[in-house]
Amino acid sequence: MNDKVHTCSFCGASQAPDTPLIAGIEGHICEACVTLAHQVVSSWGRTRALSGPLKSPPKPVEIKEQLDRYIVGQEAAKETLAVAVYNHYKRLAAEARNPRRSLDDEDRVEIDKSNILMLGPSGTGKTLLASTLARIVGVPFVIADATTLTQAGYVGEDVESILARLLDASSGSREVAEWGMVYIDEVDKLARQGETAHGTRDVSGEGVQQALLKLVEGTQVKINAKGRKDSGEGTLIDTRNILFLVGGAFAGLEKVLTKRLRPGPSGIGFHADVGTADATGTRDPALYRETHPDDLRQFGLIPEFIGRFPVLVGLHDLDEAALVRILTEPKNALVRQYQQLFAFEGVQLEFTPEALTAISRKAIERGTGARGLRSVIEGLLQRPMYELPSMSGVTTCLVDADAVEGRGEIRWTHAPEDQALRETAGG
């Protein structure tokens, strides 16, 4: 009979009825050491998950260089976003090196996040900036639409659904999701409308602004496990380290800005100065850069919501020269995209400089900014793309200004042997 008393190979605790040991090949381990080992291994996994995006944090100049490859102009907006992302990385790195253990650490300086509000006319690149930034950052990134959100208790998505999508983008890792970034588009649609004519509540306006306050500021939100395969107890997410960006066109804000920056004459009747109005009706391209928080309050956003976005980024209207650059310079420029479509058919698509200028002019007339460029080109090339697959011997398709303006046709160039056959058949 073996009466040997075994001891834990880690802490030396002796085996007893109240201290059972797990036997291994050459040692034993007690329950307390198993629990401690589980905590240590869990902390290793958390450190690896959180430090993964921090292996090579890009510098602001590097972030802007990558944004320049896809976005033309908006230099101030790109610099602001680059700094915000870099500071977000620095906050994550500091948190990883020195995690918060208690509230009594007087030597620790906690860096607060600076959420960003982007505003500008439609088609100036707000959503493109956010989606391109998603390719650059190493932390989870989601884009949400404010128009789909409703106040809690009403039909539609509530604000917690944004965090649920962020958790999905993090592969279910709560630790990684808590260091992510969120972009909310069309936030200007949440402007306070008050009671409607029928007396119903504005459930998708001020109520959503109020619901977003706790997410943006930083709090713990419980995400129910709806549609997930994990346990139904839900996941508790701390939004203190999640960087929020919001954007919107804020149509009508220019009237508020113009009234504050260039107040009109105060006289009435025979004393009114009728010569001070802008007869051209043009808008200052840099007008949105002069936006103050009080302007947003007059637009309809509540002060509590405005105060949680200390960084205001105003995007300017794109002029004709900028639209021409957008057509040709970015890595995924529209001209390159359609040239690739024609290359699939073995045809080279060419645009004259005058044609690019005419396309940009048409997009400006439509008032949709860079977003209108695709619709102009699509309408211009619809007929050629319809006929091209059925044509043979075509080598080049040339688009000039006359074709864009409707004064001429798009010109095709055929191979020499095909052109000879066409002339013979015609003769």
Taking the CA atoms of 98, 103, 109 and 114 in sequence, report the sign of the dihedral they define.
Answer: positive
Answer whether residue 279 is part of any domain: no
Residues 84, 50, single domain; the answer is no
Q: How many CB atoms are located within 10 Å of the residue 367 CB?
A: 11
> In the predicted model, what is the mean pLDDT of residues 308-333?
88
Contact 410, 384 (CB under 8 A): yes
Domain count across the chain: 3
Task: Report the run of H or E that residue 23 belongs to, with start and end.
Answer: strand 21-23
Q: Which domain holds residue 50?
A: 1-54
Question: Does residue 352 share a domain with residue 293?
Answer: no
Dihedrals φ, ψ of 374, to 5°? -65, -40
Per-residue pLDDT tens digits for 138-165: 778 888 888 888 765 555 577 888 888 8
Other CB atoms within 10 A of residue 158 CB: 15
More confident residue, 336 or 106: 336
| Amino acid (one-letter) located at 97 | R
Q: Is residue 355 part of a domain?
A: yes
Q: Is residue 228 predicted with pLDDT exceeding 50?
A: no
Identify whether 215 is part of a domain. Answer: yes
The Cα–Cα gap between 317 and 232 comes to 48
| Residues 152 and 243 reside in one and the same domain | yes
Cα–Cα distance between 313 and 129 in angstroms, integer? 12
Quick check: 70 pLDDT over 60?
A: yes
Residue 371 is part of a domain; what is its CATH number?
Answer: 1.10.8.60
Residues 301, 160 share a domain: yes
8 A C-beta contact, residue 304 and residue 190 = no
Burial 167-187 (b: 16+ CB within 10 A, else e): bebbeebeebbbbbbbbbbbb
Who has greater pLDDT, 244 or 171? 244
Lowest mean pLDDT among 3-17, 351-365, 400-414: 3-17
Please tell me the predicted confidence (pLDDT) of residue 197: 38
**Amino acid (one-letter) located at 77:** A
pLDDT at 177: 84
Is the pLDDT at 93 greater than 80? The verdict is no
Interval 72-98 mean pLDDT? 81
Q: If pLDDT is split at 50, 70 and 90, which confidence band does 368 have?
A: confident
Q: For residues 303 and 326, state if they share a domain.
A: no
237 and 340 together in one domain:
no
- Collapsed DSSP state (helix, strand, coil) of residue 412: strand
Buried b (16+ CB within 10 A) or exposed e, 217-227: beeebebebee
Element housing 150 (H / E): none
Mean predicted lDDT score pLDDT of the chain: 78
* 406: in domain: yes
Least confident of 5-9, 42-46, 274-278: 274-278
Residue 266 lies in a domain: no
Residue 221 pLDDT > 90: no
pTM: 0.71
Kindly give the residue spans of alpha helices, DSSP state H, lying in 72-144.
75-97, 126-136
Question: Residue 396: its pLDDT value, please?
Answer: 93
Residue 271: inside a domain:
no
Q: Are strands 21-23 and 28-30 parallel, antiparallel or unpaired?
A: antiparallel
In a domain, 278, yes or no: no
Give residue 356's pLDDT.
Answer: 94
Note whether 222 and 182 are same-domain residues.
yes
- Least confident range from 211-215, 306-310, 323-327: namely 211-215
pLDDT in the model for residue 11: 85
Neighbour tally for 412: CB within 10 Å: 16
Other Cβ atoms closer than 10 A to 282: 8
293 and 416 within one domain: no
* Strands annotated E in 140-180: 141-145
**pLDDT beyond 60 at 200:** no
Q: Which amino acid is at 398?
A: L
61 and 36 inside one domain: no
At 257 the pLDDT is 84
pLDDT band at 103 (very low <50, low <70, confident <90, very high): very low
Q: Considering only 200-204, 374-378, 415-419, which range has the smallest mean pLDDT?
A: 200-204
Question: What pLDDT does 261 receive?
Answer: 80
Q: Give the pLDDT band of residue 383 (cuts 50, 70, 90).
A: very high
CATH assignment at residue 83 = 3.40.50.300
Residue 143 has a CB neighbour count (10 Å cut-off) of: 18
Residue % of the chain over a pLDDT of 70: 76
Contacts of 96-100 with C-beta under 8 Å, sequence gap 24+, read 96/47, 96/50, 96/51, 96/54
Average pLDDT over residues 324-333: 89
Question: Using 50, 70 and 90 to split pLDDT, how confident is the model at 55?
Answer: low
In the prediction, which pLDDT does 327 show?
A: 92
Q: Are both 69 and 209 inside the same structural domain?
A: yes
From the CA atom positions of the chain, what is the Rg in Å? 30
Say yes or no: 7 and 153 in one domain.
Answer: no
Give the phi and the psi of residue 311 in degrees, each rounded to 5.
-100, 115
Annotated binding residue at 397? no
- Is 265 domain-assigned? no
In this structure, are 249 and 398 located in the same domain? no
